[in-house]
Structure 1
Amino acid sequence: MITDEQRAARTARAVAAAVAAGRDLGLTVIEPEVLYDVFSVIVRLAPSPVVVRVPTVLPRTTTLETQLADQRRELAVAAWLGEQGLRVVKPSPLVPVEPVRRDGFAMTFWEYIEFIEDANLSAEYSAKLIAKLHAALREYPGELEFLNGLDPFIPDGLARLEDRPDLLDPADLVRARREWEVFRPMLESEEAFAKAFPGVTVQPVHGDSPGYNLIVTTEGDLYADFELVHRGPIERDLAFTGPEGIEAYNAAAGELGLREVDERVLRTFEAVGLLQVVACLSMAPELPMLVDGLKPMIDQWRETPFPG
């Protein structure tokens, strides 16, 4: 496990890289401020109205090429949504809309937004916003991968846990691998998905719990964090929303011309979401807080019936 000192040093390197990259791009940076530090270090380049996201903890399967491709896709989608008038955190207009490489990091630059800390949105309210996002995203003209973030992340994460019984009990690992063998054939391609779930349409989706990636401001709520945007079923964005949230989504979907939630697909992606959490434990050596942070969902996974 990485030590607190090592993690602090990693954060400091990320901040230094963001500051240096910002100054190279002509930004005034006097008092950089770390706003968030988990999988990425989020740095405000004060007094410039710019925030830099510097990923520091990445899956082993991520290469520089795939990371840059993901970042370019995120920037393109967020910029396009902003052009359509959707309230979204947009790329900073003060620098080129491109990922920047500096000192071993690849980072992206975003507009700074004043947000309300510890704001809580109801599941019903968030679900309505997800429906509005889906209505906008279905018109996105760019190319997107199908179900980004599952394979090879899940099988590689489980492989990394094979020699880590301190992180995951061997019996749990056996179950997780059996579950992935259930899901993999139906999710490995758009064609396979269509065969497994006839009549269930796919479209561009956020890909990373958009209801939890809303930034609450005094002037309205903004969509954020499109790092995993891809093509998939709408249920991918609605896992663990709860019955009230699903009911609210379906009502909003009807008004927006979207289809309603398919319960079988929803259950599938809730089960896959729990399996992703299990695989995410493989990143705990680089981010020890995951051990305690993921425990409630790991316990929930253990209590659910085997999905086969």
Structure 2
Amino acid sequence: MTTFLTPQQRADRTAAAVEAAVATGRGLGLPVAEPTVLHDLFSVVVHLAPLPVVVRIPTVLPRPDDMAAIARRQQDELDVTRWLADRGIPVIAPSPLVPREPVQRDGFSMTFWPFVEEARDKEPDYVANAESTADLHAALRAYPGRRLEFLSAADPGFIADSLAGLGQHPDLIGAAELDRARREWQILEPLVRSRSAFENRFPGVDLQPIHGDCPPANIFRAVDGDLYADFELVTLGPVEWDLAALGPEHEAAYNRGARRNGTRPLDEEVLAFVNALGALRFIATLALVPQLPELMGYLKPAVDRWQATPFAADMSS
């Protein structure tokens, strides 16, 4: 049976992340007095009060020991958000109080951001956010992003490893469902692994820098206005990836935004591809449940939806 992190182990991990953040902040010359945890799920987010500085420390990761890979991804996020901010795009940019680079300490890799007051009385409008995503894509088209890899946000290595290993965890996914996921992955994997294979399958569909992690759900409701946020999975890919699994209403809203700013609408065939790929990424994420047991509650609705859909069409033809 699967061994899950206990509540005490989870609390110890959070405490260690906070301790590392405080020590790092003080090492950078920040007079930290009252560290406050703002968020604790895939990352521990700590406000280094009284300063307007927030530290984000990823703690639930597919490959937590690959510190170099974590830092590369974090540096990409720091670079793209600074670039967007310099061009007047409303985005949470890196903190100006510390160097703009990841810092590693005690087995954690962390980045520093400004503290932004949240408008807690404002409900998110995900449809409006989907329309706004077209504006973000229009801005990102000019980002040089030479280091960005094709669809790295999908993390095909993680999907492959997870689908291989989940056979040892029948309490996380049934044998029939896992078999289906593995067969779908055989169809989709070549198009994720190879940019040229994708371009051959979807000719004329341009690739560009994209947010990588569902931007309609990652627009921060700040007191002074909405801000694009959480570019941890920034990648090179089709714009459709940022709308994966959101459904027709959000797709229509995105297309309204695209028409308004003169960029292309969503391609239906590419949407079918990213929706199938996004579903498999949800399945693969089951492998992280032992690190974060409450994650099952977030994943189960997505897994149930996937089980109710037809088998992924043959994308290779």
TM-score, normalization: structure 1? 0.97
Cα offset, 1:61, TM superposition: 7.6
Equivalent residue, structure 1, for 2:151? 147
Equivalent residue, structure 2, for 1:280? 285
- Which of the residues 177, 181, 184 maps onto 1:179? 184
Q: Deviations over 1:265-298 (max 9, x none)?
A: 1121111111100000001111101122211111
2:78 touches 2:100 (CA, 8 Å); kept in 1?
yes
Equivalent residue, structure 2, for 1:261? 266
Q: Show the 5 A alignment for 1:75-114.
A: 75-114=78-117
Please say which of residues 221-230 and 111-120 is displaced more in the overlay: 111-120
Aligned pair 1:167/2:172, yes or no? yes
Cα offset, 1:124, TM superposition: 2.8
Equivalent residue, structure 2, for 1:301? 306
TM-score, normalization: structure 2? 0.94
Q: Distance in 1 between matches of 2:298 and 2:61?
A: 17
1:61 touches 1:156 (CA, 8 Å); kept in 2?
no
> Counterpart amino acid of 1:299?
D
Query: Structure 1 pair 267/119, CA: closer, same or farther in 2 (3 Å)?
Result: farther
1:123 touches 1:244 (CA, 8 Å); kept in 2?
no
Query: Structure 1 pair 276/62, CA: closer, same or farther in 2 (3 Å)?
Result: farther
Segments of 5+ residues of structure 2 without an aligned counterpart are: none
> Counterpart amino acid of 2:19?
A
Q: Distance in 2 between matches of 1:178 and 1:2?
A: 30
Please say which of residues 208-217 and 153-162 is displaced more in the overlay: 153-162
- Which of the residues 243, 256, 264 maps onto 1:238? 243
Give the number of aligned pairs. 308
Cα offset, 1:218, TM superposition: 2.0
1:202 touches 1:232 (CA, 8 Å); kept in 2?
yes
> Counterpart amino acid of 1:65?
A
2:150 touches 2:235 (CA, 8 Å); kept in 1?
yes
Q: Deviations over 1:241-262 (max 9, x none)?
A: 3322222221221222211100
> Counterpart amino acid of 1:131?
A
Q: Distance in 1 between matches of 2:63 and 2:53?
A: 29
Equivalent residue, structure 1, for 2:255? 250
1:127 touches 1:241 (CA, 8 Å); kept in 2?
no
Equivalent residue, structure 1, for 2:7? 4
Equivalent residue, structure 2, for 1:222? 227
| SS in structure 2 at match of 1:53 | strand
Q: Percent identity?
A: 53
Q: Distance in 1 between matches of 2:5 and 2:307?
A: 27
Q: Distance in 2 between matches of 1:53 and 1:138?
A: 27
Q: Distance in 2 between matches of 1:48 and 1:61?
A: 29
Q: Distance in 1 between matches of 2:129 and 2:97?
A: 30
Equivalent residue, structure 2, for 1:137? 140
Cα offset, 1:129, TM superposition: 1.2
Q: Distance in 2 between matches of 1:215 and 1:122?
A: 11
| SS in structure 2 at match of 1:285 | helix
Equivalent residue, structure 1, for 2:66? 63
Q: Show the 5 A alignment for 1:25-64.
A: 25-60=28-63, 63-64=66-67
- Which of the residues 104, 122, 127 maps onto 2:125? 122
| SS in structure 1 at match of 2:172 | coil
2:127 touches 2:253 (CA, 8 Å); kept in 1?
yes
| SS in structure 2 at match of 1:161 | helix
1:123 touches 1:242 (CA, 8 Å); kept in 2?
no
2:74 touches 2:102 (CA, 8 Å); kept in 1?
yes
Q: Deviations over 1:60-117 (max 9, x none)?
A: 3861111111111110001101001001011000000010011111100001100123
Cα offset, 1:158, TM superposition: 1.1
